[in-house]
Amino acid sequence: MLDLTVGEAVHGGWCVARAESGQVFFVRHALPGERVRAVVTQTTSRFVRADAVEILQAAPERVSAPCPYAGPGGCGGCDWQHASLTAQREIKAQVIGQQLRRIAGLERAVTVEPLPGDAEGLGWRTTVRFAVGKDGQAGLYRHRSHQIVRVSDCLIAHPLVTEAGVTRERWPGARWVEVAVAPGTGERAVLPSGRPGSRQAAGSRRDTGAPRFLTQRAAGRDWRVAAAGFWQVHPGAADTLAEAVLDGLRPEPGETALDLFCGAGLFAGVLAEAVGPAGRVVAVEHDAAAVRDARFNLRSTPWARVHRGDAAEVLHRIGRNGASVAVLDPPRTGADRALIEALCAGQARPSPAGEPALRRIGYVSCDPATLARDIAEFGRYGWQLDRLRAFDAFPMTHHVESLAILVPPAE
């Protein structure tokens, strides 16, 4: 048992404490400025991980966690239930600033904005994957573990997810059960994995009566999304991000826009409306199901075309197509160097035929570390961070959604 005075919060839901010996501790369930009694959970050659099990001197921002499973040894899904929502957003803003400073060498004041309808930070998660034990009971994983915590309800899950009652049933032979819902229509899909060793694909069982698609509502219209496909998990995120992308890129009628990692086509769709029939949208997505959804969702705007494949490879194959604005929404691992090179080195300057240069790039990210890394990579080609917005799309967790708007070097 250790007595520690906790310092700043860092990426991943930890706070840093340093012993007089210089040893570094990454502590969960604590807040900056607190004095805590902690139990070591892991030791490495460079640092020690620990859980704060007793608060000796509490920070003013500390609150009682609403979920009984959120403490040490409990569910690992939430990192900051013991902090007020205001404090959570301040911590996330500080973490984004840390990553930009440490990795990209940028000093930037950051504000994390709440999403519409988010008063208490609970009941928002529209997709939840429950782990299933050998006994067929569903629960959620402990932090950094494959041990399953038996839970009655998950408080950050959307009410439609809770109503599915996954944790109150048995799921023999399943490894996990995913629940996805569409709040705008009330649709719900319960998708158990196939039995181990069977040919049945994960999430493909039909005997549950699960729909193949959900109808999500955003940007004033409906979007078809595969039941096991990607969609923003906070009900207010898709609308907010679509509006922010349009505001940041400022597409004009007749322009060509790129949408890389387009998913079901949300950004491609709003960009297509903005550039109009005289313009063009080139969208790229690797996942086959998402490509089918995007093509379905963009069928009324034939000037928006969806290509399937790796974003960098597609750009190298077809070129920029005269695009003047681009948005990319890569997975948590970020964009690779080949893609950034394709956008910046070979694509961002006018061609001999007078093809316009890219004038703005929007980068949507759910990971501050890879965002900062990729902003630094864009910087190698002279691109600069023009503005940054951050959104609390994952309350109670350490995750945060960001939109960086990048502009090319001045002539």
Give the active site residues. Answer: 366
Confirm if 16 and 10 have CB atoms less than 8 A apart. yes
Question: For residue 24, what are its two tokens?
Answer: 């570094």
Confirm if 25 and 48 have CB atoms less than 8 A apart. yes
Question: For residue 192, what are its two tokens?
Answer: 């158990």
Confirm if 24 and 16 have CB atoms less than 8 A apart. yes
Question: For residue 348, what are its two tokens?
Answer: 């961002």
CA distance 133 to 136: 5
DSSP result, 173-234: T-SEEEEEEETTTTEEEEEEPPPTTSSPPTT---TT---SEEEEEETTEEEEEETTS---SS
Pairing of strands 112-113, 384-391: parallel
DSSP result, 115-135: PTT-SSS-S-BSEEEEEE-TT
